Structure 1
Amino acid sequence: MRLRTDWRASFALVGTVLKYLSVPLVIPVVVALIYNDPLVPFIATIALTIAVGHGLELLNPEPDLEVREAMLFVAISWLAVAAVGAVPYVIAGWGTGSTLAHPVNALFESMSGFTTTGATVLGEISLERHSHAVMMWRQLTQWLGGMGIIVLMVAILPELAVSGAQLVESEAPGPQLQKLTPRIAETARILWLVYFAFTVVYIAILYGLHLAGAAPNMTLYNAIAHGFTTLPTGGFSPEADSVAAFSSIVQWTAIPFMIVAGTNFALFWHVFSGESHRFVRNTEFRAYTGAIAGFAVLLAGILYVGSAPALGELGGVTEGVVENSLRQSAFQITSLLTSTGYATSDFATWNSTGQVVLLFAMLVGGCAGSTGGGIKVVRWLIIFKVLRRELFTASHPEVVRPIRLGGNIVDEDAIRGVLGFSFLYLVIFAIATLVIMLDASRIGYTLTPLEAFSASLATIGNIGPGFGSLGPFGSYLQFPVSSKLLMIFLMWLGRLEIIPVLVMFTGGFWTR
């Protein structure tokens, strides 16, 4: 029996990724110098990253990636990056009593960051205990993971251009890869350029609101921190009250940028290229914005008539106040549907009617080619069209009826891929829910079915907050280590959309 996958080539390129990870680690070093924070956590991580990366590169100085090697490279890269990203947390937390001093907690926070999940093991006290530099690194991990680490590597590394299409397809969220130019490396650069531009614009607007006196606590630090986590639909905030800590105008400003983050970024490039009609004609985008509008209007009505309590300083809903109901509903629906995970209200305290609406929004997800998580709108469209076709052909068996999306016929192989992914997603989600409940009962931790359900959905869907104790102002700290390790796996699985990870656990992937 011989190995058919050249793991040395894959791991060598993982080493290259790790070496380049040392570059963004300079940002928290600069923040540490500004705020007089400890430098050791980041200097040590930079040295470790370069050393490990160089060592892995020696495994194969001239790596060549085929399909299997590309999938292995993508999956292991994300795991390795999350592991390295946890190192500053462990070093900074050592001896301070921080929850992040525990390696599993640190890995949970790091994986949540890079996969833009936004689930956290930090509570209000833990957030205040960490330095500005550590918190900025926490924010930066989400920005790096948003558009995709491998997409970035394809954009800047010539040696990855040959296998670029396979790499980007393995990492990019959604069932299809849209090439904007004949060269995949150029496409990767375009996507990152659009992503970077929106981030800069959003940061400038937030800080502009601060300078205008409309957002007193939206300092330059906070503006950058939230810019790093809004466009990647991440949801981390250095504030314990998330976006509820800021004025209503900040909350209104965040909504369109979360919608942008959940949109296929390729559409924006077409707009910048003078093809604005692509937005109007794009079936997925119309369904996506329609879902946000529909859910938001429904929830606004529920909140207006008093289905949620007034929550005072947490930015809760006051029944009968139109602006507040509209803002809370629009914000929470957009945040959860796009998997951003920000909060302006503790929706875990709302009644079941409001929570059910939010739960359905969590299941939708963003568009393919966006930074949003979840199943994705395009997959839901295909599933509904397949169901409608089955109902039609049941009474018209002689008719051949292809599935069309935006006027184009969807290939039957693509349809099978969508159905296969959706089935795996729901099965893994259901099994994980059961395991989380059993594991909690093993240690005597009281966990309701809704909390277990939302924990599984929030991690595999890269959404972040759940319900009950896992609400937007709660944390995942109380779970046993085994459950946290499972959720780390779910976040990894969900970000890479299952197949690139699960395929490594099949015998046919490794042997001839």
Structure 2
Amino acid sequence: MNLRIVARQLSVVAWLIGLTMLFSISAAWPEIGGQSEFEDHGFWALLASMVVCGITGLMLRMASGESNSTLYRKEAMAVVGLSWVLATVLGGLPFYFAEVIYTSVDGREIPMGIADCLFESQSGFSTTGATVLTDIENHKWVPRSILFWRSSTHFLGGLGIIVLFVAILGQGSAGKALMRAEMPGPSKEGSQERMQHAAWNFAAIYCVLNLILTIILYLEGMTWFQAICHAFGTMATGGFSTLNASLGGFNSKTIEYTVIVFMILAGTNFTLIYLLTLGKFKKLVTDPEWRTYVGILAVATALVIIVGIFESHDFDPQDKLTAVPEFELAFRDGLFQVVSIMTTTGYCTADFDLWNNFSRGLLVVLMFIGGCAGSTGGGMKVIRIILFTKILGREVEHSYHPSVVRHIRLAGEPVTDQNIPHNILVYVGLIGAIIVTSWLALTWIELDQTWIEAGHPTHNKLIDSGTAVCATLHNIGPGLGIVGATRNYAPFSDSAKLLFTLLMMLGRLELFAVLVLVMPSFWRD
């Protein structure tokens, strides 16, 4: 392991994070952020964080010496994993320096501790959108400049620090390893030029869609501050909002339908979006992953509406707040939450904890599926679900036709690379092992008192803990019960928050880039 070249690349990551904090500082001024007075505590917190980022980057660069060695696969994986550890620590500094208040107990305002800051930072970079903040509309507790930084971590996480790294710096042959960790899912290998070109295309499309959505949301009634933050949260499939009630706080069906469209785009493979810009519309409708993705969204929405919402809600035919027929409200709530959960965005417009068990269970299933490979969505990815079902079907056939040799086919083409089925099975097995282990660990380290103080029955602890693990591992945010649509992760202990932080990182980097960091053999020459 060439630690010098790893330190050199990490120095650039530290400087990039510090540089992006500069944009959040602008939100401390009234004409930018929209608040009544200059927010000095947010300003100085971000400035101090920038200084720490600069010093950290300088120290890493000095430790690297004049190393110009080639970045091989092992070093690339180390850069990926350590970059997200470094980003989590540096990204949490503004919350810590600003002494952000995350909750109050018996009238006492409780500032964010180290575990809270790491949790909130990783939640942003991993585009999970889970939060420990209980009142983000109270800007004495949470300055707007810090809120803007919080949403900016979504933008950076969605773009992918390492994708940006590859696109700008052109990291040689290791670009493939970096891109595979940042844009996961089964894919064919490509040349260095193709991988760097793909990174540029990804970055350009992502930034343009953010810009378009920002303008549309502003025209639909949001302030520029709100529009930018929610565009970052949507296109990154993150879910951080500027309102306590999330997007539901705007009470606008126009905004909700707009965000639905862009969430679906964010969960689509960006390669397909690029082909659409070239006029190759047929590529979209013939892509098996995208057809399955849209099909699951349609079927799940129909099931939630027919089986779920109408059974668990007593809709007013003419709702006084929205003045819409019962079916339209049911359709909008059902469609929004299905798209939000499956794309792992996590925005909420309805309290789905009030839905019946079938609908809530269906949402949990969608947490596992996630978006398409090559998108900003989390989860296991649709393409893996497709291949996994085909692998199971082939194994069932082998039980009664053991001599038959049959390739798995995708879009009519055989999958001849036998590493792909093996990798799919290993990945699914690892996901299952991590969920079970984390679930049991959480039920052990988190006391029943957490549920009692939060006003939830302790017999829901198993379900709530399970969905909290799934929601953080698959980068979704809200779960059920104590972490439901109207709740957050504030009640949990520091130990649980650190566990969630690790799970969010594992989910964002598709397991291996983080797991290798704890293997001694990985660090040997």
TM-score, with length taken from structure 1: 0.92
Deviations 1:122-175 (A, max 9, x none): 1136755211111111111001101211001111114x2442111111222323
Once the two structures are superposed, residues 465-509 of structure 1 have per-residue CA deviations (whole angstroms, 9 ceiling, x without a partner) of: 000120122111111111111110101111000011111222321
Which residue number in structure 2 is paired with residue 437 of structure 1? 443
Is residue 2:486 matched to residue 1:473?
yes
Aligned pair 1:183/2:194, yes or no?
yes
CA distance in 1, matches of 2:25, 2:82: 26
Q: In the alignment, does 2:30 pair up with 1:37?
A: no
Question: Does structure 1 retain, via aligned residues, the 8 Å contact 2:308–2:358?
Answer: no
How large is the RMSD of aligned CA atoms in angstroms? 2.4
Aligned position for 2:150? 138
Task: Name structure 1 gaps, 5 residues minimum.
Answer: 211-217
Instruction: Tell whether 2:135 aligns with 1:124.
Output: yes
CA distance in 1, matches of 2:397, 2:444: 42
Give the aligned partner of residue 14 of structure 1.
Answer: 10
Match of 2:346 in 1: 341
Asked if the contact 1:90/1:106 (under 8 Å) is kept, the reply is yes
Q: In 2, are the aligned partners of 1:100 and 1:106 still within 8 Å (CA)?
A: no
The answer on 1:252 being equivalent to 2:239 is no
Is 1:152 paired with 2:164? Answer: yes
1:178–1:250 Cα change, 3 Å: farther
Q: 1:68 to 1:484 in 2, by over 3 A?
A: same
Q: CA deviation at 1:317?
A: 11
Query: Counterpart of 2:261 in structure 1: which amino acid?
Result: P
Distance in 2, matches of 1:463 and 1:127, equals 25
How far the C-alpha of 1:226 sits from its partner, in A, is 0.3
Counterpart residue number, 1:406 = 411
- Structure 1 stretch displaced more, 407-416 or 71-80: 407-416
The answer as to whether partners of 2:309 and 2:355 remain within 8 angstroms in 1 is no
How far apart in 2 are the matches of 1:334 and 1:419?
27
Partner of 2:455: none
CA 346–268 in structure 1, closer or farther in 2 if over 3 Å, else same? same
Other-structure match for 2:225: 221
| 1:12 positional shift | 2.1
| Whole-Å separation in 2 of the counterparts to 1:226 and 1:480 | 29
Look up the match of 1:371. Answer: 376
* 1:424 matches 2:430: yes
Q: Quick one: structure 1 residues 317 and 485, their matched pair in 2 at CA, closer, same or farther if it must change by over 3 Å?
A: farther
Between Structure 1 and Structure 2, how many residues are aligned? 499
Deviations 1:25-48 (A, max 9, x none): 111111112342221011111111
2:197 maps to 1:192: no
TM-fit CA distance, 1:303: 4.4
Separation (CA, whole Å) in 1 of partners of 2:367 and 2:323 = 23
The answer to whether the 8 A contact 1:333-1:358 is kept is yes
Letter paired with 1:466: G
- The residue type paired with residue 52 of structure 2 is L
**Stretches of structure 2 lacking an aligned partner (at least 5 in a row):** 103-107, 452-457
1:25 counterpart SS class: helix
Q: Which residue of 2 aligns with 1:356?
A: 361
Identity %: 34
**Which aligned pairs between 1:8-407 and structure 2 lie closer than 5 A?**
8-33=4-29, 34-35=32-33, 36-38=38-40, 39-60=43-64, 61-63=66-68, 64-93=70-99, 99=110, 101-124=112-135, 128=139, 129-158=141-170, 160-176=171-187, 182-210=193-221, 218-246=222-250, 247-308=252-313, 321-407=326-412
Quote the offset at 1:208 in angstroms: 1.4
**Letter of the 2:506 counterpart:** L
Deviations 1:419-476 (A, max 9, x none): 1011101110111111111111376654621100111001110010000120122111
Aligned equivalents of 2:57, 2:461: Cα separation in 1:
43
Q: Bigger shift: 433-442 or 41-50? A: 433-442
Opposite residue 167 of structure 2, the aligned amino acid is A
Summarize the Cα distance change of 1:266–1:136 in structure 2 as closer, same or farther, 3 Å threshold.
same
Moved more, 172-181 or 225-234: 172-181
- Find out whether 1:504 has 2:504 as its counterpart: no
Give the AA of the match of 1:55: M
**CA distance in structure 1 between the partners assigned to 2:279 and 2:352 by the alignment:** 41
Query: For the structure 1 residues 95 and 114, does the alpha-carbon distance in structure 2 shift closer, same or farther, using more than 3 Å as the test?
Result: closer
CA distance, structure 2, for counterparts of residue 316 and residue 168 of structure 1: 46
In 1, the alpha carbon distance for the partners of 2:350 and 2:288 equals 32
One-letter code of the match for 1:89?
Answer: F
Distance in 1, matches of 2:218 and 2:324, equals 31
Q: How far did residue 6 of structure 1 move?
A: 1.8
* Counterpart-to-counterpart distance in 1, 2:187 and 2:49: 36
Distance (Å, rounded) in 2 between the aligned partners of 1:28 and 1:10: 28
Q: Is residue 459 of structure 2 the alignment partner of residue 449 of structure 1?
A: no
* Counterparts in 2 of 1:423 and 1:185: CA distance versus 1, 3 Å: same
**Paired AA for residue 52 in structure 1:** T
Which has the larger displacement, 371-380 or 408-417? Answer: 408-417
